[in-house]
Structures are given as structure tokens and as C-alpha cells.
Amino acid sequence: MIGRLNHVAIAVPDLEAAVAQYRETLGADVGAPLDQPDHGVTVVFITLPNTKIELLYPLGADSPIAGFLAKNPAGGIHHICYEVADILAARDRLKAAGARILGSGEPKTGAHGKPVLFLHPKDFNGALVELEQV
């Protein structure tokens, strides 16, 4: 069901410093910041030859990333994202298997403009999993 790894998301307490580290220290191809009000984050994608890194920074006080950073002040890996061909079929299959879909269970539009869903970390070895339809 799952396809390739789309990205690994890292919550960061200082977006500018993280961007500089990836661009200047690691020599990575770093995109521009993109606000995602529906998700309460500002994201920056770093393109690698085989996947992407997504830097997450809180957009507003109610951001779920603000809560994550309160518990992890230095930042850290927030979630991993896998590609799926049909997000509704993937959702239905996962629900039938007992997996919990976060939120309403209906896909939202993600940072790439494609439908996404998040799966409860307690159902996936403590890892928050995002599915993105490609």
C-alpha cells in the first residue's frame, strides 16, 4: 500500500538558523518558507536526491508544532510521510485494520497541494505517520 518515502519532517525552534544550517553547512537545496495556515505551520522543504526533509516551524500560538517544541525545546523528528496512490482507499484499509486516523478522518490539502492524512503514533511504534496521495 505505501509507496516511497516522501519526506521526514523536523520541528525546529529557529527556522532561519535551521535553513542556514542546511543551506550553508550541509550545502543542501533549500526552498522558500511556505505558510500552511490549515496546519498551523510554516514549512521549508529541503530537496535531497532520494527524498525531502521538511522543516516545521509554528505558525501562531495554537500550532501543534508549538506544543511539540514545548516538550522538545531543541526540536526533533516530528513525522514521516509515505506516498500512497489512493488516499481514501488507504484510509479505509487502515481503519478496517484498526488504525486510528487523526482529525476528522477526511484528507486535508498538504504543503504539496495534495491530499494528506495523519495516523496516530500509538498505532505505528510511536511514530506520527503522514500519508500523501501522489
Q: Which of 65, 102, 91 is nearest to 1 (CA)?
A: 91
Q: How many CB atoms lie within 10 A of CB 81?
A: 24
pTM: 0.94
Q: At 56, is the secondary structure helix, strand, or coil?
A: strand
Give me the phi and psi of 78, to 5 degrees please: -100, -50
Q: Read off the pLDDT of residues 5-63 as tens digits, 9 standing for 90 and up.
A: 999 999 999 999 999 999 999 999 999 999 999 899 999 999 999 999 999 999 988 89
Angstrom distance (rounded) from CA 26 to CA 12: 16
pLDDT of residue 126: 96
pLDDT, tens digit (0-9, with 9 covering 90-100), for 73-94: 999 999 999 999 999 999 999 9
pLDDT of residue 61: 85
Burial class (CB in 10 A: 0-12, 13-18, 19+), 70: exposed
**Amino acid residing at 54:** E
Which sequence positions are flagged as catalytic? 130
Domains of the chain and any CATH numbers: 5-133 (3.10.180.10)
